[in-house]
């Protein structure tokens, strides 16, 4: 593992470039459309899970309401582009900012709360957003939802094929990773992580915890909103049932499976979850039974996620000890 890491650090630019080129040419390889659509799903969920990870993984607040922010982006995008013909690219920003505003409002009561109280409040907020979407018929279409959402246009190209849409999601994912990486390495990111590891210590060292917790929430909500805007035309039809708490749980599962508090984790988690649920389709009604069993098995096998950090507080004390032993063994073994 360490070798892989060293190798990566050494040829970072080349590896990233090669990866990017591979990703960029995939739609030209003549892969069947359905699989391109799955790729789109993976990249979309990877960004969404990443936005949740920005909250849960980096400031240690446990948000369960990501489906709500996602919904705000989706509905903003759908309603404005359908009724007023606003450009998709502008809407990405508008939807993100609106979700950020709601994120700010949700963060206000949660600043005083912690642990499970914060979780239930975000969950409640997400449910309220969903029910507003379900009942505010003039704007959201109520239970009828919004249909025939205009597809984005790119210099006159109507991007309705999944092959085109692929690039939108790829662009958003890369942008998200780039920006998040910069933010995490900045003062703000360090403040978030200090809150995660020990809030009281952070406070005593002069970190404005309320301010940073709030910005953290807004940052996560912003990206959930952005990806929501992109999601709406992709499925072409949205209604409130697409934003239930189950969706939020699913995204949480991706984050935790992949590894909280890492940039790659949510991508891997999104890929594993999406591939698993699609690949298990042949099991018909047994599909989710097997998926649930695998989920629990993975939690037993690797509680900190596939690429999770074992040294952070996120991994927990007991596991850390075990992991350290394993590490010692592994190092002993690799010395041969």
Residue 140 found at the interface with other proteins (CB under 8 A): no
**Stretch 307-336 residues interacting with other proteins (CB under 8 A):** 307, 313-319, 323, 326-327, 329-331, 333
d(CA 139, CA 120): 27
Which of residues 94 and 122 has its CB atom nearest to other proteins in the complex? 122
Residue 133 found at the interface with other proteins (CB under 8 A): no
Residue 157 found at the interface with other proteins (CB under 8 A): no
d(CA 89, CA 312): 38
Site string for other proteins, 84-123 (x = CB under 8 A): -------------------------x--xx-xxx-xxx-x
Which of residues 94 and 125 has its CB atom nearest to other proteins in the complex? 125
Residue 16 found at the interface with other proteins (CB under 8 A): no
**Stretch 224-263 residues interacting with other proteins (CB under 8 A):** 235-237, 239, 241-242, 245-246, 249, 252-253, 256, 260
Q: How far is the CB of 263 from other proteins (least distance, A)?
A: 16
Which of residues 94 and 312 has its CB atom nearest to other proteins in the complex? 312
What is the SS3 assignment for 304? coil
The radius of gyration of the chain from alpha carbons, rounded to an integer in Å, stands at 20
Residue 23 found at the interface with other proteins (CB under 8 A): no
**Count of CB atoms situated within 10 Å of the CB of 158:** 11
| # binding residues, other proteins (CB under 8 A) | 89
288-53-208-190 Cα dihedral, nearest 10 degrees: 150
Q: Measuring CA to CA, which residue among 186, 184, 199, 194 is closest to residue 118? A: 199
Cβ neighbours for 96, distance < 8 A, ≥ 6 positions apart: 73, 222, 223, 225, 226, 229
Site string for other proteins, 271-310 (x = CB under 8 A): -x--xx-xxxxx-xxxxxx-xxx-xx-xxxxxx--xx---
What is the SS3 assignment for 63? coil
**Stretch 41-60 residues interacting with other proteins (CB under 8 A):** 56
Cβ neighbours for 168, distance < 8 A, ≥ 6 positions apart: 152, 159, 230, 234
CB 81 within 8 A of CB 88: yes
Q: How far is the CB of 248 from other proteins (least distance, A)?
A: 10
Residue ranges with strand state E in the chain: 153-154, 157-158
Which of residues 91 and 315 has its CB atom nearest to other proteins in the complex? 315
Residue 19 found at the interface with other proteins (CB under 8 A): no
């Amino acid at each position: 593992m360490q070798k892989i890491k060293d190798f990566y650090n050494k040829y970072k630019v080349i590896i990233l470039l090669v990866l990017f080129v591979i990703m960029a040419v995939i739609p030209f390889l003549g892969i069947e459309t359905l699989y391109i659509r799955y790729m789109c799903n993976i990249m979309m969920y990877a960004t969404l899970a990443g936005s949740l990870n920005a909250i849960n993984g980096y400031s240690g607040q446990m948000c369960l309401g990501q489906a709500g922010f996602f919904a705000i982006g989706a509905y903003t995008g759908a309603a404005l582009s359908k009724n007023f013909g606003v450009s998709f690219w502008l809407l990405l920003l508008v939807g993100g900012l609106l979700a950020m505003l709601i994120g700010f409002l949700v963060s206000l009561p949660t600043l005083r709360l912690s642990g499970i109280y914060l979780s239930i409040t975000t969950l409640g907020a997400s449910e309220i957003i969903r029910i507003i979407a379900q009942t505010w018929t003039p704007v959201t279409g109520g239970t009828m939802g919004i249909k025939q959402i205009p597809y984005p246009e790119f210099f006159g190209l109507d991007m309705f094929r999944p092959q085109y849409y692929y690039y939108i999601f790829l662009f958003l994912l890369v942008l998200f990773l780039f920006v998040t990486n910069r933010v995490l390495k900045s003062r703000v990111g360090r403040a978030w992580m200090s809150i995660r590891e020990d809030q009281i210590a952070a406070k005593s060292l002069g970190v404005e915890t309320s301010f940073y917790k709030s910005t953290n929430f807004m940052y996560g909500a912003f990206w959930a909103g952005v990806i929501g805007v992109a999601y709406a035309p992709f499925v072409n039809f949205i209604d409130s049932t697409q934003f239930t708490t189950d969706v939020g749980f699913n995204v949480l599962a991706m984050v935790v499976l992949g590894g909280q508090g890492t940039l790659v984790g949510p991508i891997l988690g999104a890929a594993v979850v999406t591939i698993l649920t699609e690949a298990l389709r042949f099991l018909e009604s047994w599909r989710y039974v097997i998926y649930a069993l695998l989920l629990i098995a993975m939690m037993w096998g690797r509680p900190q996620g596939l690429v999770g950090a074992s040294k952070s507080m996120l991994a927990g004390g007991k596991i850390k000890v075990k992991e350290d032993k394993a590490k010692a063994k592994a190092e002993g073994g690799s010395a041969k």
